[in-house]
């Protein structure tokens, strides 16, 4: 591993930082006897382990050198993670609400020059896989459109064992060291005394923790962006988050970061839309993926690799082992090497989606870890949490978790053992020959770790190369379009407005001052802070020389077509059949869908007397469920729609959410009653004849008419 620095490091949560935190008088229970002691303002008992051992540092795991691997002897880390992993049953502590599908990975080319991993050796080869998408903070029954990070976990059943890429739709994370993971999740989850709010971070505990954790500021910019309210699983990116290694047959190591790039482009919803979608269809993302696969419109992503060597790692401005940092795609381009296709829904949700067990430690020969302290802790934690959740070390016997390649070992018995080794031998080495003697190790074929030399002191420190907490946060913010920057500010204002303690709001604004003064002022004004706080103390000054990265913007990386999207057509009796059929044809050519919304779910009688089946009744199919809308009522039908609140809401929401609206002359009166200005913007496309349908669909490729928000 490149030596960014010596074992010299910084202890996170310095004395200066701690002095700024005040505690109110309160009763604290100390000891198993439950005695209650009154403590004075500012005083606290010494933090201990569950065995009563005083803790010297609760911010950093024990490492071999500041940038070295985490030591297994770190009993405090192990105890925290063990307790955290076993806190809840039976649903996952995080990523509880998930949805999965089967598919395959197909190589574009051989990657034998950089990795000996079997699945990358042959161009065109397909390897089966299972993908589970999820929200992080919400419980199993929470809605799909919560503002939250999305899990993007891929289990690839290679010929040399299962490889799990357990990632998210955001390339960075809140924390740098796994010892803080229980604290971060506890703070984000519902507050323990009241059991709410869940599936949201708009509460005091979360922002209290975040505002005391400067390393989270880059992630804050991402989670307050539209990345956390995606339109669909099909329209979001995935990331492996950490830096890994590729190792080729010659033993050469290359650093790699994994990206999943959606073929259909990026797309998110706006916040007001997300809130309404959760009410109209809390299973919106699940239904979208299920419907797409069942219709044969198989979602695809391309696997992208950022590849770099130790020389680059040494010279790069930030530490490649820091999970709160990215390597901009402009610095290291993403090489697209294959595609992921989801082509089969599960047969049983519980047996597959619920019981699938992902572990970051599951890698195959040709892929290896780095000393990223967050990754090191995840490798320890995931196996333990799956053991607790699934109840047995034999969870690999469950079909969704079992390798699809031949496997052989001496492990046996235990709860729910479905298969035990045959024969008298259950140990190794053994001197038995023939059938029943069992498998043998293979130095030639077996997994071997890349031989990194580690010769440094054991320390509880954070590497000084991890200390810049604001520069990339600023880079991310400045890389967004004006529309996206405004969404970030509004998200921060909304979330912090739900925080009761003004001191926490002000503390967050003090961090924003280190990112962008304009953003900080906009948030402070939106919160009504009486005075602007001073900028937070920064371990490293914010760099202002980092170039903007267009790859970080959703709107700058949108699709080039309307493929995979859906138009909701509001129709009534007398709808012009020629226009309706032309619209359906234009959308089909584009690879998009048309869904009929009518006053009654039974349908309507068209202008030629034919019957048009409806998919939704107006009040059950609001416009928030569609990417664009077409208003196609007859003149008589429009007179009825004017009196329907749901019809007016259908139009008003589409207008408010900057959607493209196609309309016939009969819809004008309804639009006016819904609050659409008489002088309509270019996001409204008049459909006077069949040819106008193609014009409307072409306009929809932009997804939103963002100029409407500037009025």
- The 10s digit of each residue's pLDDT in 415-443 is 888 888 888 888 888 888 877 778 887 88
Q: Report whether pLDDT(151) > 60.
A: yes
Query: What does the pLDDT average to over 248-262?
Result: 97
State the pLDDT at residue 42: 58
Look at residue 473 and tell me whether its pLDDT is greater than 50: yes
Name the percent of the chain lying above pLDDT 70: 92
Token pair 């030629």 is found at: 608
Choose among 177, 178, 184: nearest CA to 212: 184
Outline where 356-513 has alpha helix (H).
Answer: 373-390, 471-478, 482-497, 502-512
Q: Which two tokens stand for residue 568?
A: 């909701």
Longest Cα pair distance anywhere in the chain, in angstroms?
A: 90
684-686 and 661-663 beta bridge pairing: parallel
Question: Which class for 633: exposed (0-12), middle (13-18), buried (19 or more C-beta within 10 A)?
Answer: buried
The CATH number of the structural domain formed by 63-397 is: 2.40.180.10
Contact 11, 461 (CB under 8 A): yes
Question: 317 or 430, which is more confident?
Answer: 317
Percent of the chain with pLDDT over 90: 76
**pLDDT tens-digit readout, 337-350:** 999 999 999 999 99
Task: Between 60 and 227, name the one with better pLDDT.
Answer: 227
Q: Are strands 616-617 and 593-598 parallel, antiparallel or unpaired?
A: parallel
Among 266-270, 384-388, 553-557, the minimum mean pLDDT is found in 384-388
Burial category of 36 from C-beta neighbours within 10 Å (exposed 0-12, middle 13-18, buried 19 and up)? exposed
CB 133 within 8 A of CB 292: no
Q: In this model, does residue 16 exceed pLDDT 60? A: no
- Domain ranges across the chain: 63-397, 465-555, 560-710
How far is residue 588's CA from residue 567's CA, in Å, rounded to a whole number? Answer: 11
Q: What is the mean pLDDT of the chain?
A: 91
**pLDDT at residue 384 above 80?**
yes
Q: Which helix (H) or strand (E) holds 210?
A: helix 204-211
Q: Which of 14-23, 29-38, 476-485 has the highest average model confidence (pLDDT)?
A: 476-485
Check whether 196 has a pLDDT greater than 70.
yes
Q: Is 123 left (phi over 0), alpha (psi -120 to 50) or beta?
A: beta
CATH T-level assignment (fold) for domain 465-555: Hemocyanin, N-terminal domain (1.20.1370)
The angle that helices 373-390 and 75-85 make with each other, rounded to 10 degrees, is 40
Q: What is the mean pLDDT of residues 285-300?
A: 97
The CA distances from residue 125 to 108, 174, 398, in Å, are 8, 36, 26
Q: Minimal CA–CA distance to 180: which of 229, 138, 219, 223?
A: 219
CATH topology of domain 560-710: Rossmann fold (3.40.50)
Q: Which residues are catalytic?
A: 95, 168
CB-hemisphere CA count at 13 Å for 31?
A: 5
As a whole number, mean pLDDT of residues 257-262 equals 98
pLDDT on residue 35 = 45
- Per-residue pLDDT at 101: 98
More confident residue, 428 or 225: 225
Least confident of 51-55, 379-383, 540-544: 51-55
Helix H or strand E segment including 672: helix 668-673
**Alpha helices by DSSP H, 422-481:** 471-478
Dihedral sign computed on CA atoms, order 372, 377, 382, 387: positive
Secondary structure of residue 492 in the 3-state scheme: helix
Residue 87 pLDDT? 66
The token duo for 8 is: 């010299």
The mean pLDDT of 106-128, rounded to a whole number, is 97
Element at 655 (helix H, strand E): helix 645-656
């Amino acid at each position: 591993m490149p030596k960014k620095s010596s074992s010299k490091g910084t202890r996170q949560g310095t004395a200066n930082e701690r002095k700024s935190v005040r505690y109110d008088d309160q009763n604290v229970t100390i000891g198993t006897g439950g005695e209650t002691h009154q403590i004075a303002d500012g005083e606290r008992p010494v933090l201990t382990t569950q065995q009563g051992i005083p803790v010297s540092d609760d911010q950093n795991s024990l490492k071999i050198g500041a940038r070295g691997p985490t030591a297994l002897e770190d009993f405090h880390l192990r105890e925290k993670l063990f307790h955290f992993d076993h806190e809840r049953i039976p649903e996952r502590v995080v990523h509880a609400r998930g949805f999965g599908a089967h598919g395959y990975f197909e190589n574009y080319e051989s990657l034998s020059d950089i990795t000996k991993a079997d699945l990358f050796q042959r161009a065109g080869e397909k390897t089966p896989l299972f993908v589970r998408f999820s929200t992080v903070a919400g419980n199993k029954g929470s809605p799909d459109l919560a503002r939250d990070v999305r899990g993007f976990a891929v289990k690839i059943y290679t010929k040399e064992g299962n490889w799990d890429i357990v990632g998210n739709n955001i390339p960075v994370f809140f924390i740098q060291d796994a010892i803080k993971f229980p604290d971060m999740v506890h703070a984000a989850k519902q507050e323990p005394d009241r059991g709410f709010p869940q599936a949201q971070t708009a509460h005091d505990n979360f922002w209290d923790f975040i505002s005391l954790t400067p390393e989270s500021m880059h992630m804050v910019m991402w989670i307050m962006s539209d990345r956390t309210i995606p339109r669909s699983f099909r329209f979001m990116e995935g990331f492996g988050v950490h830096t890994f290694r590729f190792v080729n047959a010659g033993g050469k190591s290359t650093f790699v970061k994994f990206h999943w790039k959606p073929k259909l482009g990026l797309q998110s919803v706006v916040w007001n839309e997300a809130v309404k979608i959760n009410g109209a269809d809390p299973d919106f993302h699940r239904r979208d993926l299920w419907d797409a696969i069942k219709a044969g419109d198989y979602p695809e992503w391309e696997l992208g690799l950022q590849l770099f060597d130790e020389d680059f790692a040494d010279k790069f401005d930030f530490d490649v082992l820091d999970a709160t940092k990215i390597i901009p795609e402009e610095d290291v381009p993403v090489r697209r090497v294959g595609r992921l296709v989801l082509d089969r829904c599960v047969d049983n949700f519980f047996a597959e989606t619920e019981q699938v067990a992902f572990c970051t430690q599951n890698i195959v020969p040709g892929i290896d870890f780095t000393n990223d302290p967050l990754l090191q802790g995840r490798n320890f934690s995931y196996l333990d949490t799956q053991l607790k959740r699934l109840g047995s070390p034999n969870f690999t016997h469950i079909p969704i978790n079992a390798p699809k390649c031949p496997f052989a070992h001496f492990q046996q018995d235990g709860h729910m053992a479905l298969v035990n080794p045959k024969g008298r031998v259950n140990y190794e080495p053994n001197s038995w020959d023939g059938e029943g003697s069992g498998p043998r190790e293979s130095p030639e074929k077996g997994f071997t770790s890349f031989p990194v030399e580690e010769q440094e002191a054991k320390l509880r420190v954070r590497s000084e190369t991890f200390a810049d907490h604001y520069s990339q946060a600023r880079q991310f913010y400045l890389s967004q379009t004006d529309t996206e920057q405004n969404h970030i500010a509004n998200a921060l204002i909304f979330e912090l407005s739900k925080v009761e303690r003004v001191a926490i709001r002000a503390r967050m604004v003090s961090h924003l001052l280190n990112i962008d003064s304009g953003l900080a002022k906009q948030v402070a004004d939106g919160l009504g802070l009486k005075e602007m706080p001073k900028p937070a103390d920064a371990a490293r000054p914010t760099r202002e020389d980092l170039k903007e990265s267009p790859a970080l913007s959703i709107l700058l990386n949108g699709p080039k077509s309307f493929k995979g999207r859906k138009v909701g057509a509001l129709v009534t009796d007398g709808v012009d059949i020629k226009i309706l059929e032309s619209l359906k044809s234009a959308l089909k050519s584009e690879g998009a869908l048309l869904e009929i919304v009518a006053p009654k779910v039974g349908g309507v009688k068209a202008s030629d007397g034919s019957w048009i089946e409806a998919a939704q009744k107006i009040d059950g199919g609001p416009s928030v469920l569609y990417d664009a809308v077409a208003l196609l009522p007859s003149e008589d039908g429009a007179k009825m729609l004017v009196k329907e609140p749901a019809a007016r809401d259908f139009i008003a929401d589409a207008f408010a959410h900057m959607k493209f609206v196609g309309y016939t002359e009969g819809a004008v009166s309804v639009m006016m009653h819904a609050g659409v200005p008489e002088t309509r913007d270019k996001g409204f496309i008049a459909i006077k004849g069949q040819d106008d349908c193609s014009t409307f669909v072409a306009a929809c490729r932009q997804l939103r008419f963002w100029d409407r928000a500037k009025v």
